[in-house]
Amino acid sequence: MPVYTIATIPFPDQKPGTSGLRKRVQVFRQPHYLENFVQSIFDTIAAPPDATLVLGGDGRYYNREAIQVILKMASANGFGRVLVGKGGILSTPAASCLIRKYRTFGGIILSASHNPGGPGGDFGIKYNTANGGPAPERTTEAIYAASKTIMQYRIADVASEIELDALGDSKLGDMTVSVIDPVSDYAELMESLFDFAAIRALLSNGFRIRFDAMHAVTGPYAREIFVNRLGAPADSVINAEPLPDFGGGHPDPNLTYAHELVDILYGDNAPDFGAASDGDGDRNMILGRHFFVTPSDSLAIIAANAHLVPGYKQGLAGIARSMPTSAAADRVAAALNIPCYETPTGWKFFGNLMDAGKVTLCGEESFGTGSDHIREKDGLWAVLFWLNILAARRQSVETIVREHRARFGRNVYSRHDYEGIPGDAANSVMKLLHERFGELQGAQLGNYKVLFCDDFSYTDPVDGSVSIGQGVRIGFTDGSRIVFRLSGTGTEGATLRIYLEAFEPDVAQHHLDAQEALAGLISIALEISELRQRTGRDRPTVIT
Ligand code: VG1
Ligand code: CO
pLDDT at 18: 53
397 and 419 share one domain? no
Tens of pLDDT, residues 332-347: 999 999 999 999 998 9
Q: Which of 240, 32, 328, 16 is nearest to 145 (CA)?
A: 16
Tens of pLDDT, residues 245-254: 999 888 999 9
**Residue 278 Cα: closest atom of ligand 1:** 18
Q: Which ligand ends up closest to the CA of 496?
A: 1
Domain-terminating residue out of 408, 433, 464: 408
Nearest CA to ligand 1 atom 13: 487
**Residue 365 Cα: closest atom of ligand 1:** 9
Q: Which residues line ligand 1 at a C-beta cut-off of 6 Å?
A: 17-19, 113-114, 278, 282-283, 322, 345-347, 364, 366, 368, 487-489, 497
279 and 397 share one domain? yes
Q: Using CA atoms, how far apart are residues 516 and 276, in angstroms rounded to an integer? A: 26
Tell me how far the alpha carbon of residue 282 lies from the centroid of ligand 2, in angstroms. Answer: 5
Tell me how far the alpha carbon of residue 220 lies from the centroid of ligand 1, in angstroms. Answer: 23
Tell me how far the alpha carbon of residue 346 lies from the centroid of ligand 1, in angstroms. Answer: 6
Q: Using CA atoms, how far apart are residues 147 and 267, in angstroms rounded to an integer? A: 50
324 and 472 share one domain? no
**Residue 322 Cα: closest atom of ligand 1:** 9
Tell me how far the alpha carbon of residue 93 lies from the centroid of ligand 2, in angstroms. Answer: 9
Domain-terminating residue out of 182, 212, 241: 182
CB under 8 Å to 240, separation ≥6 — which residues?
213, 219, 220, 222, 223
pLDDT at 258: 93
Q: Using CA atoms, how far apart are residues 114 and 277, in angstroms rounded to an integer? A: 9
Identify the CATH number of the domain in which residue 513 sits. 3.30.310.50
254 and 164 share one domain? no
Taking a 5 Å cut-off on Cβ, the residues next to ion ligand 2 are 113, 278, 280, 282
209 and 143 share one domain? no
pLDDT at 268: 95
Pocket test for ligand 1, best of 14, 15, 19, 321 (most atoms within 8 A of CB): 19
Nearest CA to ligand 1 atom 8: 366
Query: Taking 70 as the threshold, does the pLDDT of residue 388 lie above it?
Result: yes
Nearest CA to ligand 1 atom 11: 489
298 and 345 share one domain? yes
What secondary structure letter does DSSP report for 311? Answer: G
390 and 419 share one domain? no
Query: Taking 60 as the threshold, does the pLDDT of residue 130 lie above it?
Result: yes
pLDDT at 357: 97
Tell me how far the alpha carbon of residue 143 lies from the centroid of ligand 1, in angstroms. Answer: 20
Identify the CATH number of the domain in which residue 224 sits. 3.40.120.10
Q: Are 57 and 32 in contact (CB under 8 A)?
A: no
Tens of pLDDT, residues 479-495: 899 999 999 877 778 99
Average pLDDT over residues 61-81: 96
134 and 191 share one domain? no
Per-residue pLDDT band for 9 (boundaries 50, 70, 90) equals: low
Nearest CA to ligand 1 atom 4: 346
Q: Using CA atoms, how far apart are residues 22 and 39, in angstroms rounded to an integer? A: 17
Tens of pLDDT, residues 223-246: 999 999 999 999 999 999 999 999
Nearest CA to ligand 1 atom 5: 346
Pocket test for ligand 1, best of 110, 122, 489 (most atoms within 8 A of CB): 489
Tell me how far the alpha carbon of residue 301 lies from the centroid of ligand 1, in angstroms. Answer: 22
> How far from chain centre, in Å, is Cα 104?
22
402 and 442 share one domain? no
Tens of pLDDT, residues 311-328: 999 999 999 999 999 999
pTM over 0.85: yes
314 exposure class (CB count in 10 Å sphere: 0-12, 13-18, 19+): exposed
Domain-terminating residue out of 408, 438, 460: 408
Query: Taking 60 as the threshold, does the pLDDT of residue 10 lie above it?
Result: no
Residue 204 annotated as catalytic = no
Which member of 111, 113, 277, 298 is catalytic?
Answer: 113
Query: Taking 50 as the threshold, does the pLDDT of residue 186 lie above it?
Result: yes
Q: Which residues form the domain of 417?
A: 410-543
DSSP sequence for 174-192: TEEEEEE-TTHHHHHHHHH
Q: Give the chain's radius of gyration (CA, Å).
A: 23
86 and 39 share one domain? yes
386 and 427 share one domain? no
Query: Taking 90 as the threshold, does the pLDDT of residue 507 lie above it?
Result: no
**Residue 488 Cα: closest atom of ligand 1:** 14
Query: Taking 90 as the threshold, does the pLDDT of residue 427 lie above it?
Result: yes
Q: How many CB atoms lie within 10 A of CB 59?
A: 29
Per-residue pLDDT band for 7 (boundaries 50, 70, 90) equals: very low
When divided into structural domains, the chain yields a total of 3
Average pLDDT over residues 71-99: 97
Tell me how far the alpha carbon of residue 336 lies from the centroid of ligand 2, in angstroms. Answer: 30
340 and 377 share one domain? yes
Average pLDDT over residues 71-94: 97
Nearest CA to ligand 1 atom 10: 346
**Residue 112 Cα: closest atom of ligand 1:** 19
What is the maximal distance between C-alpha atoms in the chain?
A: 72
Pocket test for ligand 1, best of 280, 345, 483 (most atoms within 8 A of CB): 345
